């Protein structure tokens, strides 16, 4: 069945499969949101069913929670876990310092809360997500619905003095209505093209009234697992300063693909 996957999906799968090896019995694990994170949840579900892995997962969205329960993972809340051993999540972009843009799936607030309540964060991504400078992917900013146009105007004003190439802002839509996060908020997507100083921008954005959180994850990610379409994975550890590469077997009869 893996032969039917596109190279991008193969890359996401091998990254997720390798990252699933970080999860050990008894852990409390944050489970990310998005297409790559969904592969992780499926891989972990297979380890629960086939290997008897026992851990508890804290999902970062309602759809991740639904998938986790579906594949047999015990789901708990962050309040029940209190603190996590590990969070594994995807990213829309990452750079050489493992700074991230996240929120393309609309779950950036829960994702950031869960990631920062963890001893370690591991990002899983296909190789196309690596960039020299963040910003090609629109930066999501979650805002409360009340006065969102005023918040947008304040963001536009703040961007004038920021080191960015573009300043277009669009309200994320879901059909004919504004997209709503799990918390009922809106998302403004900032089309910046290039972000020269992500740390400064993240701090400025979160000072604007109405802004709940932004999609810049700075000094949060510890390791990144990069998948390639030929089955290779590269693991980079920002703290240890190490990089390793290995080949992940793509089993044609893998049970993981029976419902895909």
34 marked ligand binding residue? yes
- The answer to whether residues 228 and 123 touch, using CB atoms and an 8 Å cutoff, is no
91 marked ligand binding residue? yes
Active site residue 111: yes
36 marked ligand binding residue? yes
Q: Where are the alpha helices (DSSP H) in the chain?
A: 7-19, 35-51, 62-70, 78-81, 108-116, 148-159, 198-205
Q: Which of 46, 111, 142, 213 is catalytic?
A: 111
161 marked ligand binding residue? no
User: Of the candidates 215, 192, 223, which has an alpha carbon nearest to the alpha carbon of residue 60?
Assistant: 215
90 marked ligand binding residue? yes
92 marked ligand binding residue? yes
Question: Any bridge partners for residue 245, and if so which?
Answer: 234
Q: Residue for token digits 């799990």?
A: 182
Which residues, other chains included, contact 176 with Cβ-Cβ below 8 Å and sequence gap of 6+? none
95 marked ligand binding residue? no
104 marked ligand binding residue? yes
Binding site membership: which residues?
A: 33-36, 89-92, 102-105, 129
Binding site membership for substrate: which residues?
A: 33-36, 89-92, 102-105, 129
Write out the catalytic residue numbers. Answer: 111
């Amino acid at each position: 069945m893996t032969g039917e996957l596109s190279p991008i999906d193969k890359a996401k799968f091998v990254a997720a499969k390798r990252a699933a090896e970080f999860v050990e019995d008894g852990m409390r694990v944050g489970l990310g949101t998005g297409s790559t994170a969904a592969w992780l949840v499926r891989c972990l579900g297979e380890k629960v069913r086939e290997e008897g892995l026992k851990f508890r997962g804290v999902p970062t969205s309602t759809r991740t929670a639904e998938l986790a329960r579906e594949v047999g993972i015990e789901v708990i809340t962050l309040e029940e876990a209190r603190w996590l051993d590990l969070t594994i999540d995807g990213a829309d972009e990452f750079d050489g310092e493992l700074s991230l843009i996240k929120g393309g799936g609309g779950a950036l607030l829960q994702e950031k809360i869960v990631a920062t309540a963890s001893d370690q964060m591991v990002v899983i991504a296909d190789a196309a997500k690596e960039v020299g400078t963040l910003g090609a992917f629109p930066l999501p900013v979650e805002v409360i619905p009340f006065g969102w146009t005023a918040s947008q105007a304040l963001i536009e004003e703040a961007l004038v003095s920021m080191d960015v190439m573009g300043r277009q802002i669009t309200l994320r839509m879901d059909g004919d209505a504004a997209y709503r996060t799990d918390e009922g908020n809106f998302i403004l997507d900032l089309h910046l093209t290039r972000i020269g100083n992500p740390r400064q921008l993240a701090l400025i954005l979160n000072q604007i009234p109405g802004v709940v959180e932004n999609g810049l994850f700075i000094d949060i990610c510890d390791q990144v697992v990069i998948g390639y379409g030929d089955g290779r994975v590269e693991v980079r550890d920002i703290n240890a300063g190490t990089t390793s590469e290995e080949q992940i077997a793509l089993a044609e009869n893998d049970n993981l693909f029976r419902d895909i």
